[in-house]
Amino acid sequence: MIRVATVLTHRRATDTVDALAALIAAAERAGVTLRFDAEETKKHGLVAQRGIDVDAPLARDVDLCMVMGGDGTILTALRDYAGTTVPVFAVNFGEVGFLATLDPDGLDADFDRAFAGGFDTLELPGITVGHADGSWLAMNDISVHRKPGFRVADLGYALAGEEIGRVRCDGLVVSTPQGSTGYNLANGGPVLAWGVAGFVVSFIAPHSLTARSLVVAPDDLLTINNRSRDEPVEVHVDGRPVLQLAPGEDIRVEFALATAVLAQLPGASFYHRLRERFGRLAR
């Protein structure tokens, strides 16, 4: 039973005005309370009223997280609710929206269905990144980049304690199955179907004829080392910089099974989603 839902929206409030009005109306019909944090409250000029909590800190004991945005907003929601059973129900207001539950058409009935619990759920894995300065969770990918204006990165990588290779490149990307259709695909890496246990490593502009993408078993620890003597590199989590890796330092990357929950329409499949989202870009 859905009684309380968090709401997260696209950074451009004008894009979601009509959809937000439809969501509020559907919540009122269903007797659902919507929670908006301080940023969302200010963005939409909301005021407290029955069924709408404003300036509400993120609560992890809600029944649903409603997202209206692109993959960046959806990833934020998945990270926020990682480790819980709260489903993320997402309406695509971005370019590709590969993680979105649906597109913004006919939302009145779709929101009624969402609040009635009329959706399937899919558990999504993540990737954890460990370093002396802390740890981070990625739902799509982590990437290591040479810094702008600096020389090419020199990266060593090892799996399960065995060194696999050393590559001079612009960087590398480690992707979950759901993230494999993003940066990894742009690098020429393989797409991993949802449900595959494991992750993929691909390289950004490698200066080598032997650097090839690699699919890694879920229990194998990946270690990435900055082999440069002078040049730091940047580590990004789901596209956001989180760490500068000094020469000689390394990060530890591990697969994390069943980290977050994504809502999807009944009967939806990964292959249908793949055809619809990427077939659309080709037209």
DSSP string covering 139-208: SSEEEEEEPTTSPPEEEEEEETTEEEEEEEESEEEEE-TGGGGTHHHHTTPPPPPTT--SEEEEEES-S-
Can you identify the CATH homologous superfamily of domain 126-257?
A: Probable inorganic polyphosphate/atp-NAD kinase; domain 2 (2.60.200.30)
Q: What is the pLDDT of residues 124-153, one digit of tens each?
A: 999 999 999 899 999 999 999 999 888 999
Q: Is the pLDDT of residue 281 over 70?
A: no
Per-residue pLDDT averaged across 34-49, rounded?
A: 95
Q: Is the pLDDT of residue 175 over 70?
A: yes
**Where are the CATH 3.40.50.10330 domain residues in the chain?**
4-119+265-282
Per-residue confidence band for 280, with pLDDT thresholds at 50, 70 and 90: low
Q: Is the pLDDT of residue 91 over 80?
A: yes
Q: Say how far apart CA 107 and CA 84 lie, in whole Å.
A: 26
pLDDT at 255: 95
pLDDT at 250: 96
Q: Is the pLDDT of residue 265 over 70?
A: yes
Instruction: Let me know the angle formed at the C-alpha of 179 by 173 and 190, rounded to the nearest 5 degrees.
Output: 70
State percent of the chain over pLDDT 90: 78
pLDDT at 210: 83
- Per the annotation, the verdict on 170 as an active-site residue is no
**Where are the CATH 2.60.200.30 domain residues in the chain?**
126-257
Please answer whether residues 127 and 12 qualify as being in contact, where contact means their C-beta atoms are separated by less than 8 angstroms. Answer: no
Q: Say which of 18, 53, 55, 71 is annotated catalytic.
A: 71
Q: Is the pLDDT of residue 283 over 60?
A: no
Minimum mean pLDDT range among 8-22, 52-66, 90-104, 235-249: 90-104
pLDDT at 96: 72
Q: If 0-12 CB within 10 Å is exposed, 13-18 middle and 19+ buried, where does residue 251 land?
A: buried
CATH number of 4-119+265-282: 3.40.50.10330
Residue linked to tokens 């393989």: 190
